[in-house]
Amino acid sequence: MAKQLSGAGLRGQVAGKTALSTVGISGSGLTYRGYDIKDLANKCQFEEVAHLILKGHLPNKTELADYKTLLKGQRGLPQALKEVLERIPKDAHPMDVLRTGCSVLGNLETEESFDAQHTVTDRMLACFPSIICYWYRFSHDGERIDVETDDDSIGGHFLHMLHGKKPENLHEQVMHVSLILYAEHEFNASTFTARVCASTLSDMHSCVTGAIGSLRGPLHGGANEAAMDMIEQFSSPEDAEKQMMGKLERKEKIMGFGHAVYSDSDPRNDIIKQWSKKLSEQVGDKNLYAISERCEEVMWREKKLFCNADFFHASAYNFMGIPTKLFTPIFVMSRLTGWAAHVMEQRADNRIIRPSAEYTGEEPRDVPAIEAR
């Protein structure tokens, strides 16, 4: 008989091995291949961290330059994919757009063998920002934008396409940090989805498409959008506290707080909160950041719940002029690195993931004749 698992959602259960990251050691902390997330966010660009996660080591200057050149050369989109994106309506959820874009790309540029897994992944990393921005600008502005920019970074490329101009240095720097913070997080729901798919020996595009579907949910990647929708409703820190207390009294779920693994704090929040403050000062914000801080204070005081990575990402993205509906696609642009690395890791030592279930249904019984039902 299979061992019964305690608790809902498999929390606390070891479901496999990974050399990619550690999450929540001693209640907090996050490392990518042994490097602390704070150190990476302070000293690296996102492309360096993508190289680390996907290829196993931090690049030197030559390797980084070569990797950036490689990614820059793969930002363009096939005409057939552009035609599909132009047929997706304006009111579609952008995560559905990315899910469809990834699937179509898999038809046009199929991974014929696992030997091509790095090539396929680099291509997706380069063109996912192009996919979401091409659709957004066409559906919302009626423009067929040029997606082959000369921006040095993936984050800069995204902002350039979205706003139609090169981003400010501060904004590009914040994008580096944000993408680093979201890049990898062990066996979260979307990553586990990718690994389950990979364990069947499916192709990379299918694994990533499935992961996008998992990330779409508000209990996973959609939390930053939900957080922004909430804090936009508050007119002041005082109003925020009043309404937050009301939500708590009504036992409403408040997004952006607490975590399935971290017990004391989310190390990613401490980092992005600092950048959100810098952005608020740059734009002359007198309210939104203060509202966010008051929400944080109320939740800790009343429930001992801390902000997770999503909460201050909401205000940071807002200060950079990024529409709320595009928050979670940015998550995809980053977490693709972790998903793909986990797929590669699963393939390297594979056994199909097929857990057992605890049956809670009827006892064995006979099928009555149709006349007796």
Question: What distance in Å separates the CA atoms of residue 150 and residue 69, rounded to the nearest whole number?
Answer: 10
CB crowding 249-267: b at 16 or more within 10 Å, else e:
eeeeebbbbbbebbeebbb
**What average pLDDT is seen over the chain?**
93
Query: Exactly one of 157, 176, 310, 313 is catalytic; which is it?
Result: 310
pLDDT in tens, 240-282: 999 999 999 999 988 888 776 777 788 899 999 999 999 999 9
pLDDT in tens, 117-145: 999 999 999 999 999 999 999 999 999 99
Segment 323-334 shows an average pLDDT of 96
* Residue 57 bears catalytic tag: no
Q: What is the DSSP letter of 261?
A: S
pLDDT in tens, 174-221: 999 999 999 999 999 999 999 999 999 999 999 999 999 999 988 788
Taking alpha carbons only, the member of 117, 75, 267 closest to residue 177 is 267
| Helical spans, DSSP H, in the chain | 37-43, 46-55, 61-72, 79-86, 94-108, 117-141, 154-163, 169-182, 189-199, 204-215, 223-231, 237-249, 267-283, 288-303, 309-319, 327-348
What are the two backbone dihedrals, phi and then psi, of residue 147, each rounded to the nearest 5 degrees? -95, 0
Query: Exactly one of 259, 266, 313, 342 is catalytic; which is it?
Result: 259
Q: What is the Cα Rg of the chain in Å? A: 22
Distances (CA, A) of 74 to 118, 119, 127, 221, 372: 13, 10, 7, 26, 65
H/E element, 28: none
Taking alpha carbons only, the member of 86, 98, 76, 212 closest to residue 140 is 86
Query: Exactly one of 36, 163, 220, 270 is catalytic; which is it?
Result: 220
Looking at residue 172, what is its pLDDT?
A: 98
* Residue 349 bears catalytic tag: no
Query: How many CA within 13 A on the CB side of residue 344?
Result: 19
Name the pairing type of β-strands 21-23 and 30-32.
Answer: antiparallel
**Cβ(296)–Cβ(311) below 8 Å:** yes
* Residue 259 bears catalytic tag: yes
